[in-house]
Amino acid sequence: MADHWVRLELDVTAFDAGRFEPYLDRCAAQGIRLTTLAELWDTPEHRRALYELNRECSADIPGRGAFYSYDEYVEQRLAVPEYDPRGVVIALDGDTWVGMAATSRHYDFVFNEMTGVRAGYRGRGISIAMKTFGMDFARRCGVTRVRTVHHPKNTTAIAMNRTLGFVEAE
């Protein structure tokens, strides 16, 4: 099955952030604030909130299966060298966490682990805004590529990434 996953890649140097500025503006106009887990502070409470948001948003991913327990999530997603709280974008509506875009740091690229928005907030461009906001993380890491992988039936996420300029990866 893994051979059938859709592998996408984005050239950071060719990414036109200005093209997606309207998504950031729309979020701001709706009272949606974008920040990072580093800016919020990477605390146990915030890690738990991230886990709950990730678990809820992951439920719609085709072929996802059962989500991690909290301890597994910490062990496999947060207690790894690739984790960097500066790469975790959070969309907030007041104090409510409504979206996340988690990107991990690797040697010569960053990897979009998960982008998700709570069901009641979908269709507002929040995902594109978060990924645009998060592009700064890739630049700070000094890499030129962002990679991601999707189940082939996750057509909404694939289309969103293509809108941002992602293309098929080798």
Residue range 7-60, pLDDT digits in tens: 999 999 999 999 999 999 999 999 999 999 999 999 999 999 999 999 999 988
Q: Quote the pLDDT of residue 62.
A: 79
What is the structure's pLDDT at 3?
58
E-only strand ranges, 106-160: 110-117, 145-150
Residue-level pLDDT at 12: 96
pTM, two decimal places: 0.94
SS3 14: helix
Residue of 103, 135, 106 whose CA lies nearest to 116: 103
Tell me the C-alpha distance between 79 and 76, whole Å. Answer: 6
3-state SS class at 109: coil
Of the candidates 2, 5, 4, 15, the residue with the CA atom closest to the CA atom of residue 110: 15
**pLDDT at residue 1, rounded to an integer:** 42
